[in-house]
């Protein structure tokens, strides 16, 4: 199958943005014209041609998402979509059928916005098979998971006993491969486990009551392991003190803890509070942005919040529990899970008239606007925590238009309007920057060298948007989406299914560690490690491949 795309402006943040021809030859991109017979040709004048979008932090698989669905059946409203809503309704309701729709809908709506790869950032080891099975049922998208470590009791025990770093490295490698994940995520290092021991607070240098170790030690050890193993994605960290006034201090301490190694801070807007200001909360976005601008080992995703109803779900039981009284509606689920982590599900309404909510909105945008390099700040809403992923087009509009941003700013809580520096930030993102932030940046951050660009030999996941004055309309619905060279979506119609890949880190299991874990796993968990190890075959089918991502090499694909 050979497709020629001509007349469209190709934008990928690598080559100069210009109108040029692009060929999709089988499942690969090529810029070289071919003598072979074309199967299809599209005139794309007044369109832009970009790579498939990559969401590196969206909760689309695993136990917590299902628990949120179970808790909130009354929030499901079928038959509403973005285009069927008025602007006012859109502000009020999520355009998804619910804050946490089923997989069929999730896959459909992502593709409808031009996204082709999504990553679940909090895979509890015990839930890994579930998470992969769920993501396998999410159509059209390539997927991968970040393994939740740093509250697994075995690791905490080893660190507390002074285990050598090599042992931690081997353990992390074993865990990553056994659960077929592509990165390591830490949520409130040590804090989830501490909460099981009834500890209600844990600062970066505070000791876990039972293990007598600090989050700093855990972060240091895990970031060391991630670097030693050559994982493509840096340690992905949800900092201590989520949502707590003054938490910028622990965010800075977290950065210090990794001692200059690469670090990705997730949903950073929730970890950016100072203590000054009218209600004991203020924005500390500038401090974090300055640090990210100055230190090239750092990247963040924002987790931008939008006003309206959603549900927050997090492994951070400690802080979800602390916020339990803010749940709307007033029902919450907290789980202590499998000696590995936990889960807190809390339905939430973000409101304009609430000072901290308004402040959060402004902090998120401040981060976007203050961080200079669009390859180190990523467009996320931490779906569904800050907002549903379908808010991206709206968010892009906020970033590209100062006037539009100010039109929302004017409706914020008066104390935020009078104290925030957002109005002074006149930057407007260019189209190139938006494309970098949603394609090239996440691809590089994940070690997906053949994605995120329109370079020769790249995977032919290509999206065509019609140019439009209003970027929100433009990015809400692409004209066409190609997956691996096949046209799967055109003008609102889904035309074909797509082969999906699971992205897995390319690390080896150490034989000695395997023997050790086989021995102690049953003592620790009550079942054999064989029961939880996910075999390669389980991830393969006629419609599913495995792709190995690594920092150093090009990715390798395994198919059935």
Partner 1 sequence: MICPFCSLLCDANDLNEIDCGLQNKSIVQLAKLRSQLDASFNESVTDTEMETAAAIELLKNAKRVLITGRVASVQTARAAVSLAMKVNGTIDCAEAGHVFKNVLAIQRSGIHSVSLAEARDHADLLIVIGGDALLDDCPRIPNSLNSENASPKTVLLLGTFTDKSTAAWTAAGFQPWSISCKIESVPTALTQWSRATLQFSPNRMTSQLFIAMDTAKYTAVLWSAASLRVEQTDLWVERLLHWIASQNETKRCAALPWTSLDGTFQQVCTWLTGFPGRIRFHDGNPSFDTFTNSYESWLARSCELESDSVVIVIDETAATDPFIAKMVFWLGRKFHVIELTSGSMRFPTAVAGAEVAADIFRADQTLLAHLSPSRECDKSRVRPAAYWLARLAP
Q: Which residues of the chain form contacts with Zn ion (CB under 5 A)?
A: 382
Q: Which stretch binds partner 1 (CB under 8 A): 30-38, 109-117, 169-177, 524-532?
A: 524-532
Binding partner 1 (rule: CB under 8 A), the pick from 27, 157, 336, 514 is 336
How many Å apart are CA 32 and CA 381, to the nearest integer? 38
Q: Which of 64, 109 has the CB closer to Zn ion? A: 64
Using rule CB under 8 A, residue 108 touches partner 1: no
Do 105 and 401 touch, CB atoms closer than 8 A? no
Residue 248, preceding peptide bond in cis (omega within 30° of 0): no
137 is in the binding site of which of partner 1, Zn ion, none (Cβ under 5 to 8 A by kind)?
partner 1
Using rule CB under 8 A, residue 104 touches partner 1: yes
Q: What are the C-alpha distances in Å from 547 to residues 500, 506, 544?
A: 10, 9, 10
Neighbours of 525 (CB within 10 A): 18
Q: What are the C-alpha distances in Å from 430 to residues 54, 399, 435, 446?
A: 18, 9, 9, 23
As measured in angstroms, the least distance from the Cβ of 36 to partner 1 is: 37
As measured in angstroms, the least distance from the Cβ of 118 to Zn ion is: 12
Give the list of residues 6+ apart from residue 439 with CB closer than 8 angstroms, or none. 12, 13, 50, 51, 52, 53, 54, 451, 452, 453
77 is in the binding site of which of Zn ion, partner 1, none (Cβ under 5 to 8 A by kind)?
none
16 is in the binding site of which of partner 1, Zn ion, none (Cβ under 5 to 8 A by kind)?
none
The two tokens of residue 142 are 């390539």
The two tokens of residue 217 are 């030690």
Q: Which of 267, 544 has the CB closer to Zn ion? A: 267
For 184: left if phi > 0, alpha if psi spans -120 to 50, otherwise beta; the answer is beta
Binding partner 1 (rule: CB under 8 A), the pick from 532, 540, 551, 558 is 532
382 is in the binding site of which of partner 1, Zn ion, none (Cβ under 5 to 8 A by kind)?
Zn ion
Q: Which stretch binds partner 1 (CB under 8 A): 80-88, 244-252, 334-342, 382-390?
A: 334-342
Find the DSSP H helices in 332-448: 355-370, 392-400, 402-409, 414-419, 431-435, 441-445
Using rule CB under 8 A, residue 118 touches partner 1: no
- CB-based closest residue to Zn ion: 382
Count Cα neighbours of 363 within 13 Å in the Cβ-side half-sphere: 29
DSSP state of 245: T
The two tokens of residue 329 are 């509606």
Using rule CB under 8 A, residue 69 touches partner 1: yes
How many Å apart are CA 391 and CA 560, to the nearest integer? 36
Using rule CB under 8 A, residue 335 touches partner 1: yes
Using rule CB under 8 A, residue 337 touches partner 1: yes
User: Partners of 129 in the beta sheet?
Assistant: none
As measured in angstroms, the least distance from the Cβ of 356 to partner 1 is: 23
As measured in angstroms, the least distance from the Cβ of 198 to partner 1 is: 5
Q: Which stretch binds partner 1 (CB under 8 A): 71-79, 299-307, 365-373, 395-403?
A: 71-79
Q: Which stretch binds partner 1 (CB under 8 A): 242-250, 281-289, 432-440, 527-535?
A: 527-535
Q: Which of 106, 223 has the CB closer to partner 1? A: 106
User: Partners of 265 in the beta sheet?
Assistant: 237, 300
As measured in angstroms, the least distance from the Cβ of 134 to partner 1 is: 5
Which helix (H) or strand (E) is 298 found in, with range? strand 298-301
Residues 232-271 that bind partner 1 (CB under 8 A): none
Q: Per-residue b/e over 31-53, b at no fewer than 16 CB within 10 Å?
A: eeeeeeeeeeebebeebbbbbbb
Q: How many residues bind partner 1 (CB under 8 A)?
A: 55
Q: Which stretch binds partner 1 (CB under 8 A): 274-282, 337-345, 385-393, 494-502?
A: 337-345
What SS3 state is found at 174? helix
Q: Per-residue b/e over 476-499, b at no fewer than 16 CB within 10 Å?
A: bbbbbbbbbbbbbbeeeeeeeebb
Using rule CB under 8 A, residue 393 touches partner 1: no
As measured in angstroms, the least distance from the Cβ of 185 to Zn ion is: 9
Phi/psi of residue 291, nearest 5 degrees = -70, -45
134 is in the binding site of which of partner 1, Zn ion, none (Cβ under 5 to 8 A by kind)?
partner 1
As measured in angstroms, the least distance from the Cβ of 187 to Zn ion is: 8
Residues 135-194 that bind partner 1 (CB under 8 A): 137, 153
| Residue of 164, 123, 89, 94 lying closest to 384 (CA atoms) | 94
Binding partner 1 (rule: CB under 8 A), the pick from 160, 494, 538, 558 is 538
Using rule CB under 8 A, residue 129 touches partner 1: yes
Q: What are the C-alpha distances in Å from 388 to residues 21, 126, 157, 338?
A: 35, 26, 37, 29
Residues 3-62 that bind partner 1 (CB under 8 A): 61
Do 56 and 378 touch, CB atoms closer than 8 A? yes
Site mask for partner 1 (CB under 8 A), range 309-328, x = bound: ------------x-----x-
Using rule CB under 8 A, residue 505 touches partner 1: no
As measured in angstroms, the least distance from the Cβ of 211 to partner 1 is: 13
Which residues bind to partner 1, rule: CB under 8 A? 61, 63, 65-66, 69-73, 76, 78-79, 97-98, 100-105, 124, 126-127, 129-130, 133-134, 137, 153, 195-198, 321, 327, 331-339, 345, 523-527, 531-532, 534-535, 538
């Amino acid at each position: 199958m050979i497709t020629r795309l001509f007349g469209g402006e190709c934008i990928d943040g690598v080559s100069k943005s210009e109108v040029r021809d692009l060929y999709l030859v089988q499942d690969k991109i090529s810029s070289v014209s071919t003598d072979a017979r074309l199967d299809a040709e599209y005139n794309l004048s007044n369109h832009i041609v970009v790579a498939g979008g990559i969401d590196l932090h969206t909760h689309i698989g695993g136990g917590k998402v299902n628990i949120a669905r179970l808790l909130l059946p009354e929030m499901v409203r079928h038959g509403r979509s973005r285009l069927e809503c008025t602007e006012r309704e859109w502000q009020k309701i999520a355009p998804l059928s619910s804050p946490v729709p089923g997989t069929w809908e999730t896959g459909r709506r992502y593709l409808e916005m031009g996204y082709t790869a999504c990553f679940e950032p909090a895979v509890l080891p015990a839930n890994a098979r579930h998470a992969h099975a769920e993501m396998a049922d999410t159509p059209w998208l390539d997927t991968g998971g970040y393994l939740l470590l740093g509250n697994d009791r075995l690791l905490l025990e080893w660190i507390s006993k002074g285990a050598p770093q090599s042992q931690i490295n081997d353990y992390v490698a074993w865990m990553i491969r056994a659960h077929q994940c592509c990165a390591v995520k830490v949520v409130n290092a040590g804090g989830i486990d501490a909460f099981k021991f009834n500890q209600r607070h844990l600062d970066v240098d505070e000791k876990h009551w039972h293990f007598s170790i600090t989050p700093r030690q855990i972060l240091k050890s895990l970031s060391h392991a991630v670097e030693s193993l050559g994982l493509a994605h840096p340690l992905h960290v949800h900092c201590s003190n989520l949502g707590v006034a003054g938490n910028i201090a622990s965010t800075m301490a977290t950065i210090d803890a990794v001692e200059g190694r690469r670090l990705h801070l997730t949903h950073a807007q929730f970890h950016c509070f100072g203590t000054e200001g009218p209600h004991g909360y203020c924005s500390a976005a500038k401090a974090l942005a300055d640090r990210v601008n100055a230190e090239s080992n750092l990247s963040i995703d924002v987790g931008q919040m939008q006003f309206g109803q959603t549900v927050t779900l997090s492994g951070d039981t400690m802080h979800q529990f602390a916020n339990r009284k803010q749940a709307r509606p007033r029902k919450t689920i907290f789980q202590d899970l499998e000696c590995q982590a936990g889960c807190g599900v809390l339905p939430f309404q973000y409101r304009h008239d609430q000072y901290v909510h308004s402040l959060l909105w402004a902090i998120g945008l401040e981060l976007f606007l203050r961080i200079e390099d669009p390859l180190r700040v990523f467009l996320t809403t931490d779906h569904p925590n800050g907002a549903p992923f379908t808010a991206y087009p709206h968010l892009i509009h906020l970033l590209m238009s100062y006037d539009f941003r100010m039109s929302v700013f004017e409706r914020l809580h008066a104390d935020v309007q009078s104290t925030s520096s957002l109005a002074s930030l006149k930057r407007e993102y260019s189209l190139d920057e938006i494309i970098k932030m949603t394609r090239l940046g996440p691809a590089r951050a994940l070690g997906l060298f053949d994605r995120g660009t329109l370079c020769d030999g790249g995977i032919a996941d290509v999206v065509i948007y019609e140019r439009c004055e209003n970027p929100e309309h433009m990015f809400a619905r692409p004209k066409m989406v190609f997956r691996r060279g096949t046209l799967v979506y055109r003008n609102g119609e889904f035309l074909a299914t797509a082969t999906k890949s699971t992205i897995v880190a390319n690390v080896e299991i150490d034989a000695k560690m395997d023997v050790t874990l086989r021995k102690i796993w049953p003592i620790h968990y009550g079942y054999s490690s064989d029961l939880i190890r996910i075999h390669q075959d389980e991830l393969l089918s006629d419609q599913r491949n495995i792709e190995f991502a690594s920092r150093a090499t090009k990715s390798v694909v395994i198919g059935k």
